[in-house]
Amino acid sequence: MFRIMFFQPCIPPNTGNAIRLAANTGCELHLIEPLGFTMTDAQVKRAGLDYHEMANVTVHPDLATAWDRLRPERVFAFTAHARSRHTDIAYQPGDVLLFGPEPTGLPDDVVTDPHITGTVRIPMLPDRRSHNLANATSIAIYEAWRQNDFAGAV
4 has which bridge partners? 29, 97
Say what the pTM is: 0.94
Instruction: Return all residues near 39 (Cβ < 8 A) that are at least 6 apart.
Output: 57, 59
Average pLDDT along the chain, 154 residues, taken 10 residues at a time: 97 92 96 90 65 89 98 97 97 98 93 98 91 96 98 94
Three-class DSSP category at 31: strand
Rounded CA separation 124/143 (Å): 16
Backbone angles phi, psi at 87, to 5 degrees: -85, -5
Q: What is the pLDDT of residue 103?
A: 83
